[in-house]
């Protein structure tokens, strides 16, 4: 029993010293990384079009036409991967008219080939994120498009609101 009285304080001192050195290393360690950039914007985004469908009155349902929303041109010097986020900016107005509004969003290159996977932008999620990988290089431009979807208006809806979008391109 007397041995514990001797070894316990010694063990606690050793643990305190070891723990303190780990904590010191964790709090003071540094890592140098190199950052390179193109010296400006990595991509430019311009409006390409806007969705339009006929005037709505009463309860209606239908499908959405194919529509280009944004044109993205990536700086040719940038070799990283990108994320394209498309936000639905007026969902508060749209929920007053639409029971559901589901927009199939795709990213296509200048040759019309689909880039990445299809995402659905709805009144509930409000944002979709599409991926652009550098791969073997950038195409001349990319289009963010609505390539389908559906809507259903609320009973008694007297006017339709067109959706409003915002597009942001960031590094991945």
Chain Cα centroid distance, residue 111: 23
Cα–Cα distance for residue pair 48/71, rounded to 1 Å: 6
d(CA 140, CA 44): 12
- Give the number of C-alpha atoms closer than 13 A to the C-alpha of residue 61, restricted to the C-beta side: 3
pTM above 0.75, yes or no: no
What is the Rg, in whole angstroms, of the alpha carbon atoms belonging to the chain? Answer: 27
Half-sphere exposure of 43 (CA within 13 A, CB side): 28
Give the pLDDT confidence score for residue 60 in this predicted structure.
83
Q: Give me the tens of pLDDT residue by residue for the chain, a chain 172 residues long.
A: 567 677 777 877 887 787 776 666 655 555 555 444 445 689 999 998 877 766 667 788 888 889 999 999 999 889 999 999 999 998 888 888 889 999 999 999 999 999 989 999 999 999 999 999 988 789 999 999 999 999 888 887 766 678 889 999 999 8
């Amino acid at each position: 029993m007397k041995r514990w009285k001797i070894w316990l304080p010694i063990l606690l001192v050793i643990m305190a010293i070891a723990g303190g050195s780990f904590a010191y290393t964790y709090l003071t360690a540094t890592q140098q990384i190199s950052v390179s950039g193109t010296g400006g914007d990595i991509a430019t985004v311009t409006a390409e079009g806007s969705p339009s469908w006929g005037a709505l009155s009463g309860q209606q349902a239908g499908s959405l036409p194919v529509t280009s929303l944004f044109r993205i041109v990536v700086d040719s010097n940038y070799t990283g991967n990108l994320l394209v986020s498309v936000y639905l900016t007026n969902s508060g107005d749209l929920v007053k008219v639409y029971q559901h509004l589901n927009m199939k969003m795709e990213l296509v290159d200048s040759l019309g080939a689909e880039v990445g996977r299809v995402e659905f932008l709805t009144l509930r999620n409000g944002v979709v994120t599409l991926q652009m990988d550098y791969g073997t290089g950038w195409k001349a431009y990319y289009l963010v498009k609505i390539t389908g979807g559906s809507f259903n208006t609320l009973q008694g809806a007297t006017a339709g609101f067109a959706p409003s979008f915002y597009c942001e391109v960031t590094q991945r």
